[in-house]
Structure 1
């Protein structure tokens, strides 16, 4: 099993696209990339910890290739927004791919270059590619939020502008 870590704005919206895919064993919502040890949601939302909301995926690379994870990741975000994602603004909602080894780094960079060259977006791709660091699991009520609170999750996904953006730019 290997790990993949992606920041794509609100971590609630980054779990469901990967969930129940073949070869994906586990998806954890959490925080990474910052300086604060064991941050809380409240602390991360202040945009002073340096952490981004992210998901860490445990997967079987023989069943679900990292390249496929990258394709799925890109199709869940606005890679041209440097200030957050959709309604959620600030450092903690920026996009980033956190690589766990040199191969992931190479594949992530290639996928970003391919997306930039595709002409799909007029603005530059600003999603960062960074080395993975300590990943802190978010509070339990954030885990599998889309399953625990489907009505609120669906209203949030639509109200934030994410659903419309994805339908317009990725479908």
Structure 2
């Protein structure tokens, strides 16, 4: 019997920083960096970064729901972002770096909306939760040099992540969750 793998798609700022948090979990088969949510077919990194496409930098996760459920995948996502920032994420500014959940089915939509509502009610954040929950559209894989960047360009990844402020935010906001 063939396994029924599922997809989850998230935008959380720079896609380099969004791969490793998912890649290390059992049941995750692939994490691909790419672009989604825009109006241009086959976008390039330069066009997305320039803001000419409407696309978000995103990751598409292929996972086995019998090993790791969507709820866990979604929790990992929320704990990588600042859900109150609609201008980008951390040092990466602009529309292509905004956070969003792209749901692939009604169950994912319901789960994402419920988690967002829990965050709103939690009192954890002083500002409104602005992360969008949108229907998944065509996902375009980024150029090869962006894939598994934390492995293939380890020093540049570490430097970029260190100066981003992401880790300090995660430690301050999510350390007890």
TM-score, with structure 2 as normaliser: 0.95
d(CA) in 1 for partners of 2:80 and 2:171?
Answer: 10
Residue 20 (structure 1) aligned to one of 13, 21, 24 = 24
2:100 match: secondary structure:
strand
Matched with 1:76 is: 80
4+ aligned runs moved over 3 Å, structure 1: none
Q: Distance in 1 between matches of 2:95 and 2:163?
A: 20
Q: Work out the CA distance in 1 between the residues paired with 2:167 and 2:150.
A: 14
Distance 2:159 2:94 in 1: 21
User: 1:20: Cα distance to partner?
Assistant: 2.6
TM superposition score normalised by structure 1: 0.99
Q: Secondary structure at the match of 2:24?
A: coil
User: 1:93-117, CA deviations, whole angstroms, 9 ceiling, x for partnerless residues?
Assistant: 0000000000000000001101111
- Unpaired segments ≥5 residues, structure 1: none
Matched positions, count? 171
Please give the alpha-carbon distance, in whole angstroms, between the structure 2 residues aligned to 1:123 and 1:165: 15
Deviation at 1:4, TM superposition (A): 0.2
The residue aligned with 1:5 is: 9
SS for the counterpart of 1:106 is: helix
Q: Once the 2 structures are TM-superposed, how far is the Cα of residue 38 of structure 1 from its aligned partner?
A: 0.3
